[in-house]
């Protein structure tokens, strides 16, 4: 119907513009039109013309219209008056080929309200070009609105039923707090959380501070009271609030509750209400406590293992020194009797002792890293990179290595460990170079975006830096990307690439101690990239 009215308003406009007011043709046509057609005199602010459809649709006669002083505002619903006055102003700004529509309620002669969609366009202008008259077509849309409202009520009923089922299944409730009356509205789920039956208890109890005081301990209630007083006095204006507390239900059971709410303020900035949710996290709380206890046990176990590794590796040096001494004595006293085979065996024993000593030294180094209690201070990573580059100057020259180092940030860290981290990673890239191809190493840095923090599951409120060590070396198979950080793990033989297989494990330990992340990506013969992510502050 709206499309029909929209199509007909232009022909009606032409009809009224081309015919005199008293020739009767517009009356004959518009009386058969399925809507109220009227012309509004914009200068006199009165009706200039109205068709007889007003009698069929609203029951009023033309004589009735005259008693309103030709003003249809007399039958506009009182709650729509201001809206209609505002809507009428749009018609004065229309171009000649434009139209505009709005919805409002009109009263019929029996006092029943009906919904109308009114569309209008400029009919004529005065000598100054201002709007002189406006043509309107008002269509009865009551059945359409009632159908929409009926569907809305059905949708709301369905949503309410679904919400109640969700509250039961997920064990949560919703609440609203009125800051002026200090009264609460609880959903059925809230009653169930506190041990009440929403069907029988809802009308028997008043949800207010006194009820909360009955279920929570005094310390939490006092903290909550002071918090609300600060907001009411405008000492605080938070947008959201999250609280975790324990309650005692109606039947005496203890529950751990997590509640979160959004605060609303009026135009003057005064707190008026809070809308929130509450859920039972008792099982989660118990799980968290158990997990924390297991973490403490694991920390104690790790510390004991670290102590053992430190003591054991330290003590194992003593028998190695004795073995080396006796080898030297055998070579000195029985050199002639040993023969070629004996000398070969002693040489192999000596080499094995040296390998063992090297492993013990690296194990001690690893233990020192885990046992470090040095303080965190502000560290300029540019200085760290420069110091490491100076230390590796000879190796860089021998291998014709090219280093590209971008500007690096200042972070809170342990300086010696940062130096060891950079040293190990640069040494690793130089060591695993391709035959005949000089190493090229790039150290890049960027600040993580919120999206990148989310990808790595990092605290969004903290500044994080990602530092990449990218090289053009031999790379590695992607399936080894985690294995290479394990202690004593090697991907190549000692004859090809000498070492203990502990350097990257130390890197991981250092990054872990700095609450960061480290990972590697690479492809065979296509280089590797080692990425460390570190927080700006600890």
Q: What is the pLDDT of residues 410-447, one digit of tens each?
A: 999 999 889 989 999 999 899 889 888 999 999 999 99
pLDDT of 324 reads 86
Cα of 58 vs its chain's centroid, Å: 54
User: Which parts of the chain have pLDDT scores under 70?
Assistant: 1-8, 19-27, 157, 301-302, 304-314, 362-373, 487-501
Q: How far apart are CA 534 and CA 463, in angstroms?
A: 9
What tens digit of pLDDT does each residue of 106-160 get?
999 998 999 999 999 999 999 899 999 999 999 999 988 888 888 877 777 677 7
Q: Tell me, what's the pLDDT at 365? A: 67
The predicted pLDDT at position 501 comes to 61
Determine the Cα–Cα distance for residues 164 and 491; give it in Å rounded to an integer: 58
pLDDT given for residue 404 in this prediction: 95
Report the C-alpha gap between 535 and 453 in whole angstroms: 11
Which residues, in sequence order, are bridge partners of residue 532?
Answer: 467, 518
Distance CA 105, CA 117 (A): 9
pLDDT of residue 413: 93
Question: In the structure encoding, which two tokens stand for residue 42, read together?
Answer: 């914009």
Beta bridge mates, 443:
405, 469
Q: Is residue 220 a contact partner of residue 214, using CB atoms and an 8 Å limit?
A: no
SS3 track for 457-479 = CCCCCCCEEEEEEEECCCCCCHH
Tokens matching residue 462: 């903290």
Q: Shortest CA distance to 288 belongs to which of 259, 256, 261, 260?
A: 256
Cβ atoms of residues 175 and 276 within 8 Å:
yes
Alpha-carbon span 78 to 15, nearest angstrom:
34
- 230, containing H or E segment: helix 218-232
pTM over 0.75: no
User: Residue 17: which residues within 8 A CB-CB, separation 6 or more?
Assistant: 123, 124
Residue 468: what pLDDT? Answer: 96
With 0-12 / 13-18 / 19 or more C-beta atoms within 10 angstroms meaning exposed / middle / buried, residue 165 is: exposed
The pLDDT score that the predictor gives to residue 336 is 76
Of 100, 102, 94, give the one whose Cα is nearest residue 125: 94
Q: What is the pLDDT of residue 370?
A: 58
Q: What pLDDT score does 495 carry?
A: 44
- Among residues 184, 159, 174, 185, the alpha carbon closest in space to that of 279 is found at 174
H or E stretch covering 69:
none
Beta bridge partners of 113: 107
State phi, psi for 410 to the nearest 5 degrees: -95, 130
**Whole-angstrom Cα distance, residue 206 to residue 141?**
43
Instruction: Report pLDDT for 493.
Output: 44
């Amino acid at each position: 119907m709206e499309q029909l009215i929209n199509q007909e308003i232009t022909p009606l406009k032409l009809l009224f513009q081309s015919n005199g007011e008293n020739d009767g043709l517009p009356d004959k046509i518009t009386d058969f039109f399925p809507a109220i057609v009227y012309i509004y005199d914009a200068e006199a602010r009165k009706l200039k013309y109205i068709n007889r459809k007003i009698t069929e649709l609203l029951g009023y006669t033309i004589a009735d219209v005259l008693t309103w002083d030709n003003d249809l505002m007399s039958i506009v619903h009182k709650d729509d008056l201001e809206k209609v006055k505002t809507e009428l102003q749009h018609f004065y700004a229309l171009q000649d080929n434009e139209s505009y529509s709005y919805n409002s309620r009109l009263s019929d002669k029996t006092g029943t309200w009906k919904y109308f969609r009114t569309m209008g366009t400029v009919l004529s202008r005065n000598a100054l070009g201002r709007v002189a008259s406006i043509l309107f077509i008002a269509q009865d849309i009551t059945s359409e609105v009632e159908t929409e409202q009926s569907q809305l009520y059905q949708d709301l009923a369905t949503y309410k039923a679904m919400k109640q089922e969700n509250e039961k299944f997920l064990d949560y409730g919703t609440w609203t707090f009125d800051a002026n009356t200090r009264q609460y509205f609880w959903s059925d789920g809230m009653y169930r959380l506190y041990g009440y039956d929403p069907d029988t208890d809802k009308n028997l109890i008043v949800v207010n501070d006194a009820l909360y005081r009955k279920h929570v301990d005094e310390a939490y209630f006092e903290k909550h009271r002071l918090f609300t007083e600060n907001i009411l006095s405008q000492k605080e204006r938070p947008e959201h609030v999250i609280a975790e507390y324990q309650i005692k239900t109606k039947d005496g059971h203890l529950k751990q509750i997590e509640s979160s709410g959004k605060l609303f303020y009026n135009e003057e900035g005064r707190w008026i209400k809070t809308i929130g949710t509450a859920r039972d996290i008792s099982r989660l709380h118990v799980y968290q406590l158990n997990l924390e206890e297991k973490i403490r046990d694991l920390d104690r176990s790790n510390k004991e293992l670290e102590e053992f590794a430190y003591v054991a590796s330290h003590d194992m040096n003593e028998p190695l020194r004795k073995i080396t001494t006796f080898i030297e004595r055998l070579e000195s006293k029985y050199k002639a009797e040993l023969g070629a085979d004996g000398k070969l065996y002693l040489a192999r024993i000596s080499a094995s002792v040296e390998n063992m000593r090297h492993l013990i030294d690296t194990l001690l180094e690893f233990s020192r890293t885990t046992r470090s209690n040095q303080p965190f201070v502000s560290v300029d990573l540019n200085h760290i990179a420069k110091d490491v580059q100076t230390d590796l100057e000879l190796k860089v020259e021998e291998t014709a290595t090219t280093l590209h180092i971008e500007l690096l940030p200042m972070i809170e860290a342990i300086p010696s460990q940062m130096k060891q981290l950079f040293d190990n990673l640069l040494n690793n890239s130089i060591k695993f170079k391709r035959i005949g191809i000089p190493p090229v190493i790039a150290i890049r840095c960027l600040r993580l975006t919120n999206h990148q923090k989310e990808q790595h599951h990092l605290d969004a409120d903290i500044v994080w830096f990602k530092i990449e060590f990218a090289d053009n070396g031999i790379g590695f198979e992607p399936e080894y990307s985690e294995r290479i950080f394990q202690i004593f793990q090697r991907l190549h033989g000692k004859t090809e690439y000498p070492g203990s297989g502990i350097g990257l494990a130390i890197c991981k330990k250092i990054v872990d101690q700095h609450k960061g992340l480290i990972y590697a990506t690479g492809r065979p013969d296509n280089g590797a990239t080692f990425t460390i992510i570190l927080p700006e502050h600890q």
